[in-house]
Amino acid sequence: MTVLITTRKNIVALRKAKGLSQEQLAEYSNISSPLLHHLETGCQNTTIDTLRRIAIALGVSPLALGILSLSDSEIRSVIQKPSYTPPEVRSFQIGENIALLRKAKGFSQRKLAELSHVSVARLRDIEHGCANVSLALLGRIAKGLEISLPALGSLGLSDEQVLSLVYQARAVLENGAAQTV
């Protein structure tokens, strides 16, 4: 199951656990109802900014949205950091971390752009934090860097920190389910 499909399912589960309609979550997230509907039904890719807004409205970490339904051992497996990870990576700094990983692998921007099927200009904008990037594009960049998308998103965090974020999101699910019973 791809990260985007898992993310969509987790958004729906969290929304329902909190007793929110699509319209309410869209309003709280400051996105359009049709955008949320398309995201939940699988008809559209989404951007990091949209996921961040939804996660904040749901009271969870954006990182947890993609891995919430995995077991702890599966989470540890998909967030496994590559051996070439530089020590200066920072949590939730995707663009900067892409640049650090690219340099650690000895790739030029042109090389990673070719491997990721993206223009050099777009990759440069992502690395500088000037672009709102989609999950599909981040997935291609992660693949070019030979890292999983969840691992790319969790750089700078320990396994325990990632699991803590997931446990917090699971608590939202459990509390919502308990309130609806």
The tally of CA atoms less than 13 A away on the side-chain side of residue 24 is 9
| DSSP-based three-state secondary structure for 47 | strand
Phi first, then psi: what are they for 146, rounded to 5°? 60, 50
> How far, in Å, CA of 36 to CA of 11, rounded?
10
Convert the pLDDT of each residue in 129-161 to its tens digit: 888 888 889 999 999 999 999 999 899 899 999
List Cβ<8 Å contacts ≥24 apart for 28-32: 28/57, 29/53, 29/54, 29/56, 29/57
Residue entry with tokens 């919430």: 68
pLDDT per residue rounded down to tens, the chain (181 residues): 477 788 899 999 999 999 999 999 999 999 999 999 999 987 767 888 899 999 999 999 999 998 998 999 999 999 988 888 888 888 778 899 999 999 999 999 999 999 999 999 999 999 998 888 888 899 999 999 999 999 998 998 999 999 999 999 999 988 875 554 3
Residue entry with tokens 């996660």: 55
Please tell me the pTM assigned to this model: 0.84
The token duo for 25 is 């979550």
The H-or-E segment that residue 38 falls in is helix 33-41
